[in-house]
Amino acid sequence: MRKLLTGALMALAISLPGLLPAHANAAGDEDEFYERLNTMMRIFDMVRKEYVDEVDDKQVIEAAIQGMLKSLDPHSTYLNPDVYQQVRVQMEGEYGGLGIEVQMENGVVKVVSPIDETPAANAGIQGGDLITHIDGTAVVGKTLTEAVKEMRGPVGSPITITVIREEEPTPFEVKITREKILVRSVRHRIEDETIGYIRVTTFNMQSGVGVENAIKKIVSELGDDLDGVILDLRNNPGGLLDEAIRISDAFLDRGEIVSTRGRRKENNSRWYATTGDMLDGVPVVVLVNAYSASASEIVAGALQDHRRAVLLGDRTFGKGTVQSEIRLGGAGDQAVRLTTARYFTPSGASIQERGVEPDIEVLFPNQRRAKLRREADLQGHITNDQRSQDRAGEYDEPLPEDIADKTVKPAKKPAGQPDVPPEDVQLRYAIKLLKNMSVLPKEQIAELQQPRSR
């Protein structure tokens, strides 16, 4: 049995170069390493022979792989062929399902954000909702990939999910009909006659060109009447790093956008803006909230550090790690999504756990009492090893007091007034801010946007 296991492990090591730890070259450490793998195989063999019911070898091995990856951090995972195909389709901007971005939290599925104009959004699903049951079956005990697979299905088929929402006293059920999800990740419009508004809901392969086209259309429509642009990244859970870099580059004329650092040299990279700000210095406000994550935070951090934009809203989610999709080959497409690096804003700050703080805090009514969950609340999250988020005063010059207050509290509804849909106070304040900035001389705006030398 020992020879059989050793042979199998050696074959595994040969087929996956780099699997063995570097310290396994030492004789003592190597013996201990193989002994632990031997123990794992013995337990697997014991489960196959002794468990009360017959087990599916494939499922048991996949569960072991998922357990290993989930012990590292909440974002590393194994993508089996079915899930890998779904992920690829989603990144390309089209898939079938409900239209929600999710992650696993405390054994249940947490909604990071519903995608605009999808069945989930139309059914009222909100960021922060916890899904405990899918068609009456408990989510507890399932992996995220299993839960996602159950939520996706044929177009037109119904699904019932059980939801826990913080402000609701009891769980409630929501019946949704699955649809073909065309992820239109970028939308734009004109606000208040002179303000361009661009919303990015996710970072897929279409997002960068979508933002560039939106800017061109806004500039073409308003011309010299353009007072400013609002980039709305609220409830955007992130996506592709390349698209975050491309979108940042659209607003920047020079300088670093983001850097990544990992254990391996090939994971250490820096990306810089190319010459040419598509808005030629027109003021920008970026809207963020607690569910602006990952790629959203890369864009927000880059524009804030270069003082190209004013960040308005709430502190962001705080996911400052990069996941690489490593294909495994073999039977069918399968991959490991593995955390391989941390990313850093141009000032060298890591937002892991901490998020990006807005320049101007604008919260919705009653939000101060709501307990919002961020990266720091996820079990097993990677800690931020920077001593402080302080950027050493490099970009800490405050906005002029005549442009903005530091904290804005929305006005309370007068007593007896009938309920109406809540006003988007963050958007309205962003419009007011840009209108105020438009009366400043261009030289003063350019000076405000100029980052200090390091």
In sequence order, what are the residues at sequence separation of 6 or more whose Cβ sits closer than 8 angstroms to the Cβ of residue 429? 312, 360, 362, 408
Structural element, H or E, at residue 113: strand 108-114
Q: In b/e form, how buried is each residue of 66-99, taking b as 16+ CB within 10 angstroms?
A: beebbeebbbbbbbbebbbebbebbbebebbbbb
Neighbours of 376 (CB within 10 A): 15
Catalytic residue among 232, 277, 305, 359: 305
Query: Is 305 one of the annotated active-site residues of the chain?
Result: yes
Give the CB-side neighbour count of residue 446, counting CA atoms within 13 A.
8
Spatial contact of 215 and 278, defined as CB atoms under 8 Å apart: yes
Rounded to whole angstroms, how far apart are CA atoms 20 and 10?
10
Catalytic residue among 294, 296, 347, 350: 294
79 bridge partner residues: 335
In sequence order, what are the residues at sequence separation of 6 or more whose Cβ sits closer than 8 angstroms to the Cβ of residue 414? none
Rounded to whole angstroms, how far apart are CA atoms 360 and 343?
24
Catalytic residue among 73, 185, 319, 347: 319
Query: Is 294 one of the annotated active-site residues of the chain?
Result: yes
Catalytic residues: 294, 305, 319
